Structure 1
Amino acid sequence: MVKRRHITALFIIGLVMVLIGYFSDKKIQQDLDDDRYRLEVMEDTVNDGWYYEIYFENHLALRQKFIPSISEKRFFITERDAKKTGSLVLERLKSGKSPTISKDDLYKLGITF
């Protein structure tokens, strides 16, 4: 009777460990899956500028119409500027960091404002 309890307990512990390993591996794979995130850069022809949007699992997560961290509301002057800034935000989101952009980040990226 005692032996049967031990075998049952070991079986349950083993099953729990397998399930934990399975779901942990799925979470790690999901975190590394770049297809969940997407950056789109668009032109605003009315305001003569550029902006970017970041999608997470095909849902709009962020729309950045204006250059962040500056006091004026200015669109990005070039598509390249919007793409560089959006790419940095995307990289930070993917790595679990704050997506906040500082003026120093803008200077390092060579963003004109």
Structure 2
Amino acid sequence: MIKKKQFFLIFLLLGVLLIAVYLFTNRNSVPTHSMETYKTEDGWGYKILKNNKPIINQYRIPAIQEKHAFPSEKSAKIIGEKVLERIQSKKRVSISIEDLMELMVIDSLQQPILTE
């Protein structure tokens, strides 16, 4: 009877220890996000990466009716950095037409602005 209790206690302590190690290692492994631009057939796009794995691949200007690639690397980078900033600050990630106009990626007619 005592051996069963000792075995159960050791098994329970080992389980608690494994759970504690798992939780501690996951808490310290904060995911790192990054952004990179890339050339497309029609223009430019950007990727948001989490621990070097793509989680967002945006090859068109978001929020506008027409399907346009980013006309320059600079415009893709501006929006990619805005999305990355929002992810890191745990804010709403989506990009609005107002965001695009404020960052001078589109004009008031929702047409892409070519920036160098």
Query: What's 2:8 paired with?
Result: none
2:46 to 46, 52, 59: 52
Residue by residue over 1:55-98, the C-alpha shift from the partner in whole angstroms, topping out at 9 and shown as x without a partner, is: 00111100001000001110001100000000000000001111
Runs of 5+ consecutive residues of structure 2 not aligned to the other structure: 1-19, 107-111
Query: What's 1:42 paired with?
Result: 38
Query: What's 2:67 paired with?
Result: 73
* 4+ residue runs over 6 A deviation: none
TM score, norm. by length of structure 1: 0.67
Amino acid at match of 1:65: Y
Q: State the SS of the aligned residue for 1:99.
A: coil
1:83 aligns with 2:77: yes
User: May I ask how many residue pairs the two structures share in their alignment?
Assistant: 84
Amino acid at match of 1:50: W
Runs of 5+ consecutive residues of structure 1 not aligned to the other structure: 1-18
User: Over aligned residues, Cα RMSD in angstroms?
Assistant: 1.9
More helix by share: 1
Identity %: 35
TM score, norm. by length of structure 2: 0.66
